[in-house]
């Protein structure tokens, strides 16, 4: 460090030294060399890794079941009323036990903007936005999701916001399956040179 400071002082005293020996170019080369051997920030999705969303993530809709395994939804239609894009269709009916239940509960995922208002409006905490984010389809009618599919969809995650190793199955029903529960935080490999930035700002002031 001492020798480096001495060099810098020498350069400030005699600016021609920096010009003759291309010190600025060498500094640039040293920086790129450092980055060359730093860890990459690439997440290898879908081949090897997959990102697990946070618990607060708003993805594919999910309908929750009560303790008897029945649909919690009472078809009050509040979700479809509050929906800004009108993407939820609810048709209520009375089932055998005389309870109000949805005959039709359809969500148009192609139109949904994932604002989460349906989740807020629901008095029974039946509808929620789950953690699934891989539901791309070839036809738009495949994105019109019915009651059964919503009941089977994956709910909120407990622990998320991490990158886990995964396997890619590139068949007709292509999917990426996570192989472990917890992984590393996605920001692990991002360079943060806070002290460096501060020192350079101070250098400018001087």
Partner 1 sequence: MELIIAAIVILIKVIVIAVILFIVPIPLTWMERKIAGHIQQRLGPMRVGWHGLLQPVADGLKLLTKEDIIPDQADRLLFKMAPLVSLVPPFAVFVAIPFGESVSVMGYEISLYISDMNVGLLYILAVAGLEIYGVIFGGWASNSKYALLGSLRTCAQLISYEIPMGFSVIGVIMLSHSMSLLDIVNAQQDIWFIVYQPLGFFIFFVAGLAEAQRIPFDLAEAEGDLGAGFHTEYSGMRFSFFMLSEYLVMLTISILCVLLFFGGWHGVLIPLPAPIWFALKVGLFIYIFMWFRFTFPRYRYDQLMNIGWKVLLPLSLFNILLTGIFIF
> What is the nearest approach in angstroms of partner 1 to the Cβ of residue 25?
7
Shortest spacing between CB 36 and partner 1, in angstroms = 5
Query: Using the rule CB under 8 A, is 25 a contact of partner 1?
Result: yes
Q: Does 5 interact with partner 1 (rule: CB under 8 A)? A: no
* Whole-Å CA distances, 50 to 44, 45, 150, 164, 172: 7, 5, 23, 5, 20
29 binds partner 1 (CB under 8 A): yes
- With CB under 8 A as the contact rule, the residue among 15, 35, 94, 120 that binds partner 1 is 35
Region 41-100 residues binding partner 1, contact defined as CB under 8 A: 41-42, 44, 47
Exposure of 149 in the CB half-sphere (CA atoms within 13 A): 15
The first and second tokens of residue 49, run together, are 């890794």
Grouping H, G, I as helix, E, B as strand and the rest as coil, residue 171 is coil
- Structural contact between residues 112 and 60, judged by C-beta atoms closer than 8 angstroms: no
Where do contacts with partner 1 occur on this chain (CB under 8 A)? 25, 28-29, 31-33, 35-42, 44, 47, 189, 191
């Amino acid at each position: 460090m001492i020798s480096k400071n001495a060099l810098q002082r020498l350069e400030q005293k005699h600016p021609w030294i920096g010009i003759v020996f291309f010190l600025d170019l060498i500094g640039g080369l040293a920086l790129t060399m450092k980055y060359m051997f730093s860890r990459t920030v690439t997440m290898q999705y879908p081949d090897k890794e997959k990102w697990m969303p946070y618990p607060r993530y708003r993805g594919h809709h999910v309908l929750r079941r009560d303790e008897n395994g029945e649909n919690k939804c009472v078809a009050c239609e509040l979700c479809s009323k509050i929906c800004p894009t009108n993407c939820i269709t609810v048709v209520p009916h009375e089932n055998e036990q005389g309870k109000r239940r949805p005959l039709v509960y359809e969500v148009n995922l192609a139109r949904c903007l994932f604002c989460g208002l349906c989740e807020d409006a629901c008095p029974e905490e039946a509808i929620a936005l789950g953690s699934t984010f891989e539901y791309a389809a070839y036809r738009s009618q495949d994105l019109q999701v019915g009651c059964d599919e919503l009941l089977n969809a994956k709910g909120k995650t407990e622990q998320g916001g991490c990158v886990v190793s995964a396997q890619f199955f590139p068949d007709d029903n292509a999917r990426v399956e996570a192989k472990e529960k917890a992984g590393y935080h996605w920001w692990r490999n991002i360079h943060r040179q806070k002290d460096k930035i501060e020192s350079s700002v101070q250098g400018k002031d001087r």
